[in-house]
Amino acid sequence: MVDIKTVGVIGAGQMGSGIAHVVALAGYDVLLHDVSPERIDQGIALIEKNMTRQVGRGLIEHTAMEAAIKRIKAAPELQTVGGSDLAIEAATENEETKKNIFKALGPHLGPKTLLASNTSSISITRLASVTDRPDRFIGLHFMNPVPVMKLVEIIRGIATGPETYETAVAFAQSLGKTTSNAEDFPAFIVNRVLVPMINEAIYTLYEGVGTVDAIDTALKLGANHPMGPLELGDFIGLDTVLSIMNVLHEGLADSKYRPCPLLTKYVEAGWLGRKSGRGFYDYRGDVPVPTR
C-alpha cells in the first residue's frame, strides 16, 4: 500500500477545512488549497477555532492542537497539491467543477499519488474517467461536521484498484473514523436515504400538511431525530440538497426523486440555509424563526 504522509485538500470551505482538521490531528502533513487565498486563511482560522473548542471540552490536548496547526500549510497554487501522497477534492457539489479540478491537477501529480473525491452524490467512475489514474481514484465521503461525525463512506469506481481501496480504508480508520462501503450509484448510502427524506419534508410543507415548526417537531419527537428535516436541510445547505436530488432524479430516472418546487424556489431566491442567513428558518436574529 502507498505510505501516506502528506495529504492535499482541495477546497477550504466547511468540508475541506473539516477534513484538513482531522487529517492534521491524526499526524499527517496537510496542504490546503482553494481558488481564493482568503478562503484558505479563513479555513485555517476556522480549524484553529474548532480545535480550541475541542481543547476546552477536554477532547484533545493543547499540545496536540499546536502540533496539528503547524502541520497545515497553505497551498494557493494547485500544482503544489500534486506533490502529496493523497489528494482529496472537497469542492462544491458540481460535477463539472470537480472534473475541471482533476483535469488541472493531472499534469502536476506524482506517479504514485492517490486521488479521492469527497462528493456526496456524484459518480466516482465518471470523475475518475477524466484522470490518468482511474485505478488510483476513490470516493471518501466525510460527513458534516467532519471533526464530530464518525463515518466515512468509501466508494469504489468501476476501475478502482484493490490496493487503492485498502489504502483508503486504512487511511480513514487512522483518522478515528468508521468506514462504510457503498457501491457507485447516485448519492451512495447516506444521502440516498437522507436527502429524499428532507425533500419529502419540503413537499409536506409545500402541500400545507404542516408548518415548518410542526414538521420539525414531529420528526424530532415522533421519530427521535436530533434535528428536524427542514432544520437539517438548512444545516447541509439547500443548494446541496437540490444538487443531490437532481443527481438522484437524473441518475435513476424515477419520479419519486423529483426535487420539490419549493426547494428549487428557495435556492433560486438565494435562501440556502444557515450559510446565507435564511432558509426554512431565518438565522439573522438571536433565535432562528421559521420563514413559512
Is residue 130 located within the same domain as residue 259?
no
* Shared-domain flag, residues 176 and 199: no
In the 8-state DSSP scheme, what is residue 136?
A: G
Each residue's pLDDT tens digit, 174-225: 999 999 999 999 999 999 999 999 999 999 999 999 999 999 999 999 999 9
Copy the grid coordinates of residue 289: 424563526
Same domain, 169 and 73: yes
Q: Distance of alpha carbon 198 from its chain centroid, rounded?
A: 17
Specify if 187 maps to a domain. no
Together in a domain, 163 and 207:
no
Instruction: Kindly report the pTM of this predicted structure.
Output: 0.89
CB neighbour class for 252 (10 Å; exposed up to 12, middle 13-18, buried from 19): middle
Do 109 and 127 fall into the same domain? yes
Active site residue 62: no
CATH assignment at residue 65? 3.40.50.720
Q: Is residue 84 part of a domain?
A: yes
On whether residue 250 sits in a domain, the answer given is yes
Judgement on whether residues 167 and 202 belong to the same structural domain of the protein = no
- Annotated catalytic residue within 50, 141, 243, 249: 141
* Catalytic-residue membership of 120: yes
Domains in the chain: how many in total? 2
Of 159, 182, 205, the residue that ends a domain is: 182
Q: At which of 138, 155, 182 does a domain end?
A: 182
Q: Is 162 exposed, middle or buried (0-12, 13-18, 19+ CB in 10 A)?
A: exposed
From 17, 84, 123, 191, active-site residue:
191
Answer yes or no: do 15 and 103 share one domain.
yes
| Cis peptide bond prior to 134, omega within 30° of 0 | no
Whether 181 is catalytic = no
Among candidates 221, 218, 154, which has minimal Cα distance to 190? Answer: 154
Examine residue 1 and state whether it is found in any structural domain, yes or no: no
141 catalytic per annotation: yes
Q: Tell me which of 33, 153, 199, 231 is the catalytic residue.
A: 153
Q: Are residues 286 and 171 in the same domain?
A: no
pLDDT in tens, 62-84: 999 999 999 999 999 999 999 99
Q: Count other Cβ atoms within 10 Å, centred on residue 131.
A: 18
Say which CATH number the domain at 232 has: 1.10.1040.10
The tens digit of pLDDT for each residue in 128-183 reads: 999 999 999 999 999 989 999 999 999 999 999 999 999 999 999 999 999 999 99
- Domain final position from 132, 154, 182: 182
Q: Do 216 and 276 share a structural domain? A: yes
Grid cell in block for residue 171: 487511511
Say which of 50, 84, 120, 123 is annotated catalytic: 120
- Does one domain contain both 243 and 128? no
**Structural domain that includes position 232:** 192-290
Using a 10 angstrom Cβ sphere, with 0-12 exposed, 13-18 middle and 19 or more buried, the burial of residue 119 is: buried
